[in-house]
Amino acid sequence: MDLSTRQGRREQGLRIQSAVERAGLSIEDLAAQIGCSRALIYQYVSGSTLAQPDRLQQIAAKCGVQLSHFYSDDPSSVEPAGRAPESLDVTQRIQESLRALEELADAQASAPNHKALVATSERLVSLAQQAGSAIEQGRAFERLGNALLAIGDYPGAAAAFQRTTEHAVQANDTRMLAAARQNLGNALLSQGFNAAAREHFQWVAGNSQGPSVRWRGLLAVGALDEQEGAYKEAMNRFDEAALLLEDAAETGIISESEANIGLLYVNANRTNVYMDGSDFEDARKLAVDCAARSEAQGSADQFLEARFNIAWCDVHTARWADAITGLETLSQLARFVQDQRRETLANSWLAITKAGIGDFETALNLAKDAFAAALARGDRLSELYAQMGLADAYTGIAQRQTEALYHANQALAVARSMRLDRAEAEVRGRLSALCEATGDYAAARDHADRMLVTATKLGARHLVALATSLQNAARTSAGEVVPNEDLEQAVQMAYSTSYCEAVMHSTWTLCRTQQLGASGQQAALQRAIAIVEAGRKGLITAGIVDTVLENDAFLRLYKLLVTALSSQHKESDLQGFLEETGWPPLVAWSSEN
């Protein structure tokens, strides 16, 4: 009986109905006796809802049949409760129950219904321990670990997979051992235990039997290399994994479909390297291709990953409308398939994006929810980005800079504990800007200097550009004269990466040091503002409320251009600019100043 199909569930429903009728009960009687609604029993009978094991146990007890009656391929061979033949000993009964629960677990996994699957898997573990078989216990703990991993309970998943490895060794099952160590590495990595995770991944990559397992270990090691900024090593790992998949498909060791799914994972990780190296356009193209291929191949996991990567590129290049729409869709899709980690990450980045376009209150609510979800699951990576979202939201809310600094420092602690150099550089950028805004120029310079060292080591050009701009901002705020060539070079570097935040910071630092109304200043401001205006128009076209100029990082450029045009008595140009901008607070500010 295949309970993952409607036909299988309908067959189980007919068995429930026949058992109820043989027991001389009505649906109403049964519902009242087991304490549920009549409608729920009808859903079981029709096959529209999969009956849970605790309910089936109640129904079996009331109807006088064995639980396996509702799972067995041959229900006619199943004796009523209390009349089991003598040959059916305890061990056989446990085995029957195990098989029945495994069928149910398969159905819950294919739906998926992860929370129900956790409960079923816990019962499987209990039964397997009664059976005493190492292989049965290993399989049960493996199911439980996978279910806990799916709902984001990483400490619980790690404990389950650790037990799986112990039973796999005892049973001498190399397949189970390799899968368990791979998943144990994933669970440890999610909690920030990179070194321990790497040990497991390296074992899988070097000691597993067959390419269908080894490529996953290679890919995971490469992903760790990428997180830690070792991009060349990461790409070598990805290339090796891709070659394994291609060779295995050519020789028939794995199917072409399996190889294609594996290559989706490889290309998703290659996309991460492109993004880290500031190649947003090529990263976006590869991510779009991965999204199309994963959709065609029915890989929900990689479809979500590709959509996240597309949105990440859009956030950095001021495609705000596309980024918000993409992240909102991603959050909904992740919730639908019960991928809690991706849902939390999507909401964290949605908070960061909303704060970036000045919608600070929405950003704060999103970040708070994401932070609570991350803490509940012990998910350190999600916690990191939720903390960044909180820092960004509080930065834009009056009198909340202290809280912004607190959350930025918390994010820094997480990034450092997980050895995520790129994330550490991003957080130091936030801290530098916050310290410069609150007058702590020495701290602002220190964070910018550290950010620059890390970004340079990583080869992350967009972060190098931002760090240089923040460094120059701290120097000028402290009264130091920064050569004009240095300021202009920072602007050019920012434009070469298409990184909007670096463009805005570098342009502001350059223009505020120039003579008011200078032609170069006006041209630089207009060029930067054109990027902001394109992003604003995208928001309006998409029906998203335009709050961009609530963010002072953008508004101060507009104000400086208004001041420059006014100082040159270019009234016609000034009025045209204000009308095109369509931002009443800017018009009011212009009149007052």
Task: Please give the DSSP secondary-structure letter assigned to residue 400.
Answer: -
Provide DSSP, 446-467. Answer: HHHHHHHHHHHHHT-HHHHHHH
Q: For residue 207, what are the contacts with CB-CB under 8 A and spacing of at least 6?
A: 178
Per the CB < 8 A criterion, the answer to whether 112 and 105 are in contact is: no
Q: Which sign does the torsion angle of CA 346, 350, 351, 353 carry? A: positive
How many helices and strands (H and E) does the chain possess?
29, 0
Q: Could you give the CA distance from residue 461 to residue 290 in angstroms, rounded to a whole number?
A: 24
How many CB atoms sit inside 10 A of residue 298's CB? 10
Provide DSSP, 304-322. Answer: HHHHHHHHHHHHHTT-HHH
Tokens matching residue 97: 């129950």
Instruction: Look up tokens 């159905």; give the residue.
Output: 107
Amino acid present at 99: R
Question: pLDDT digits over 175-217, tens only?
Answer: 899 999 999 999 998 888 889 999 999 999 987 667 878 999 9
Task: Kindly tell me if the per-residue pLDDT of 107 is higher than 70.
Answer: no
How many CB atoms sit inside 10 A of residue 231's CB? 19
Query: pLDDT exceeding 90 applies to what percent of the chain?
Result: 57
The pLDDT assigned to 101 comes to: 64
Q: Which sign does the torsion angle of CA 128, 130, 135, 137 carry? A: positive
Better-scored residue on pLDDT, 307 or 7 = 307
With helix as H, strand as E and coil as C, how does 546-575 read? CCHHHCHHHHHHHHHHHHHHHHCCCHHHHH
Task: Kindly tell me if the per-residue pLDDT of 87 is higher than 60.
Answer: no
Domain ranges of the chain: 514-593
> Of 394, 388, 376, 392, which Cα lies nearest the Cα of 420?
388
Q: Could you give the CA distance from residue 508 to residue 365 in angstroms, rounded to a whole number?
A: 30
Radius of gyration, CA atoms only, the chain: 29
- Angle, helices 421-437 vs 401-417, to 10°: value is 160
Q: Could you give the CA distance from residue 391 to residue 334 in angstroms, rounded to a whole number?
A: 25
> Of 549, 538, 554, which Cα lies nearest the Cα of 583?
549
Q: What is the pLDDT averaged over residues 509-514? A: 86
The pLDDT assigned to 143 comes to: 87
Q: Could you give the CA distance from residue 506 to residue 510 in angstroms, rounded to a whole number?
A: 6
Instruction: Look up tokens 């799916």; give the residue.
Output: 150
Per the CB < 8 A criterion, the answer to whether 219 and 265 are in contact is: yes
The pLDDT assigned to 8 comes to: 74
Helix (H, G, I), strand (E, B) or coil at 80: strand
Q: Could you give the CA distance from residue 386 to residue 399 in angstroms, rounded to a whole number?
A: 21
Task: Please give the DSSP secondary-structure letter assigned to residue 193.
Answer: -
Question: pLDDT digits over 452-483, tens only?
Answer: 999 998 889 999 999 999 999 999 999 998 89
Q: What is the pLDDT averaged over residues 564-590? A: 91
Question: pLDDT digits over 284-309, tens only?
Answer: 999 999 999 999 988 888 999 999 99
Length of the chain: 593
Tokens matching residue 420: 């995520």
Provide DSSP, 282-348. Answer: HHHHHHHHHHHHHHHHT-HHHHHHHHHHHHHHHHHTT-HHHHHHHHHHHHHHHHHTT-HHHHHHHHH
Q: For residue 512, what are the contacts with CB-CB under 8 A and spacing of at least 6?
A: 476, 560
Better-scored residue on pLDDT, 543 or 99 = 543
CA separation, residue 337 to residues 106, 112, 330, 370 (Å): 16, 7, 11, 17
Q: For residue 325, what are the contacts with CB-CB under 8 A and spacing of at least 6?
A: 542, 544
The pLDDT assigned to 112 comes to: 61
Instruction: Look up tokens 């120029």; give the residue.
Output: 441
The pLDDT assigned to 84 comes to: 45
Task: Kindly tell me if the per-residue pLDDT of 89 is higher than 70.
Answer: no
Instruction: Look up tokens 């070659």; give the residue.
Output: 243
The pLDDT assigned to 310 comes to: 96
